[in-house]
């Protein structure tokens, strides 16, 4: 894929796909509920399709028509042993959430993935599940995972790593476990699983105690389905937000965007940089906060972001690093250790690719320093993605500003935003 420099305007109303995190959960939770659930605006990306195919393989009836998906759930213990290993491609969310769910089933299963997913750490989910007496085997802490389904023991689990995937995997294991499981969370992470479980009448209670989140879930209660309208993805919106901000006289309108406060760090950060963003028609849909946004070309300031904010926007650092490249002073992004265990070592890839684009930047420990320049001299026209979709899309936006760059393995974009190229070109981009 080649991204070319454009005339200095981005404008229009791009169609943003459904939220990826919520889409995964919109397949998983209805599949183990009792009844029929109709889902609108589900993201049909490679990652979510892998989740959907996994449940079809386990006997769940899932119908697709137009922009709707209908899931026929038959209860907590209705899943059937798959006839083959469950292949999840590049989807870390699918792998970690299904590990928890499958650990409490009555059958054994095996989870595999592609080369990228097979290098990501899985003991971060298998270890806490072992406290519930789950039996999970890894290969040097990674995929493939072999899961021996069994009755689990309720427990109190202390989560120190800021990861919604770990928390959600434990929650899904707890649903089919007798008694009360208690999760102590030390960091703010996305709460889409808790929100959806509440709407499906799970027996779940959430409290705050000494800056910790305490979640208690009483297992073995069957879930009652509700229809789901998936809001549009803030992480996918971020590429258009930044593209508009860094091009003069730009204006984009983004509709029905999820602004859940456990993941809106990108908006907080951009506003700190002086971004001109208007929020319109704020509302609640399926207990999630959504709104429309107008974004205008802006003169961005440098800023310093601490590690606490990183917990609210870990997926958005590739694109905010592009924004930082065109600020009027240095940006410092601190506490980015979690970027090293995403689809790639995103922290190193951001630095490497910014340097290729002529941006002065460096890493010290887990902190990223970006020094913008008046001019950019492209040192290497090829962007290395390591099959990371967010790196690919972020540097497509970079190319629209500085000139022709080639993005390797750009088909990785299909994991989260299949129509990205079409939508970006529609508002003024030039991607071949």
Partner residues linked to 257 by β-bridges: 232, 291
CB 178 within 8 A of CB 192: no
Element (H, E) at 173: helix 164-175
Active site residues: 315
Cis peptide preceding 399, ω within 30 of 0: no
* Under 8 Å between Cβ of 347 and 336: yes
Distance CA(256)–CA(43), nearest Å, equals 14
Note the Cα 209 to chain centre separation in Å. Answer: 27
Q: Residue for token digits 């120190």?
A: 160
Residue 379: DSSP 8-state: S
Q: What are the φ/ψ torsions at residue 85 (nearest 5 degrees)?
A: -60, 150
3-class DSSP state for residue 184?
strand
CB 370 within 8 A of CB 354: yes
Q: Which residues pair with 39 in a beta bridge?
A: 69, 228
Give me the long-range contacts of 346-354 (CB less than 8 A, separation at least 24). Answer: 346/317, 346/318, 346/388, 346/390, 346/391, 347/317, 349/318, 349/384, 349/385, 349/386, 349/388, 349/391, 350/317, 350/318, 350/321, 350/391, 352/384, 353/383, 353/384, 353/391, 353/395, 354/321, 354/325
CA-CA distance, 324 to 320, in Å (whole number)? 6
Closest by Cα among 81, 137, 147 to 110: 147
DSSP string spanning 59-122?
T-EEEEETTEEEEEEE-TT-----SS-EE-TT-HHHHHHHHHHHHTSSS-EEEE--TTGGGS--
């Amino acid at each position: 894929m080649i991204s070319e420099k454009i005339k200095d305007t981005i404008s229009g109303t791009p169609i943003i796909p459904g939220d990826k995190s919520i889409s995964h959960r919109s397949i998983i939770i209805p599949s183990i509920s009792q009844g029929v659930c109709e889902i609108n605006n589900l993201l049909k990306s490679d990652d979510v399709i892998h989740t959907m195919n996994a449940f079809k393989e386990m006997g769940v009836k899932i119908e697709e028509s137009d922009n709707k998906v209908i899931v026929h759930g038959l209860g907590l213990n209705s899943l059937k042993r798959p006839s083959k290993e469950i292949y999840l491609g590049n989807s870390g969310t699918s792998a970690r959430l299904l590990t928890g769910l499958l650990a409490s089933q009555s059958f054994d299963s095996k989870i595999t993935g592609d080369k990228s997913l097979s290098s990501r750490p899985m003991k971060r989910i298998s270890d806490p599940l072992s406290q519930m007496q789950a039996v999970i085997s890894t290969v040097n802490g990674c995929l493939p995972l072999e899961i021996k389904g069994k009755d689990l023991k309720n427990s109190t689990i202390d989560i120190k790593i800021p990861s919604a995937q770990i928390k959600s995997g434990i929650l899904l294991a707890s649903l089919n476990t007798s008694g009360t499981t208690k999760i102590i969370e030390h960091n703010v992470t996305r709460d889409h699983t808790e929100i959806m479980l509440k709407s499906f009448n799970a027996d779940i209670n959430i409290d705050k105690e000494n800056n910790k989140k305490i979640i208690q879930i009483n297992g073995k209660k069957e879930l009652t389905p509700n229809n789901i309208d998936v809001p549009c993805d803030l992480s996918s919106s971020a590429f258009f937000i930044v593209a508009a901000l860094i091009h003069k006289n730009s204006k984009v309108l983004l509709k029905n965007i999820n602004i859940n406060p456990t993941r809106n760090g990108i908006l907080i950060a951009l506003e700190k940089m002086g971004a001109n963003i208007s929020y319109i028609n704020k509302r609640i849909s399926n207990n999630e906060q959504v709104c429309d946004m107008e974004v205008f070309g802006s003169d961005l300031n440098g800023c310093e972001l601490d590690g606490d904010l990183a917990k609210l926007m870990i997926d958005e650092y590739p694109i905010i690093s592009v924004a930082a490249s065109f600020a009027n002073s240095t940006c410092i992004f601190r506490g980015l250790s979690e970027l090293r265990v995403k689809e790639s070592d995103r922290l190193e890839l951001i630095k490497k690719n910014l340097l290729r684009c002529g941006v002065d930047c460096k890493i010290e420990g887990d902190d990223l320093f970006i020094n913008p320049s008046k001019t950019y001299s492209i040192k290497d026209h090829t962007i290395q993605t390591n099959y990371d979709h967010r790196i690919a899309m972020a540097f497509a936006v970079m190319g629209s500003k500085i000139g022709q760059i080639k993005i390797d393995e750009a088909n990785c974009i299909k994991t989260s935003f299949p129509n990205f190229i079409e939508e970006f070109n529609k508002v003024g981009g030039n991607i071949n």
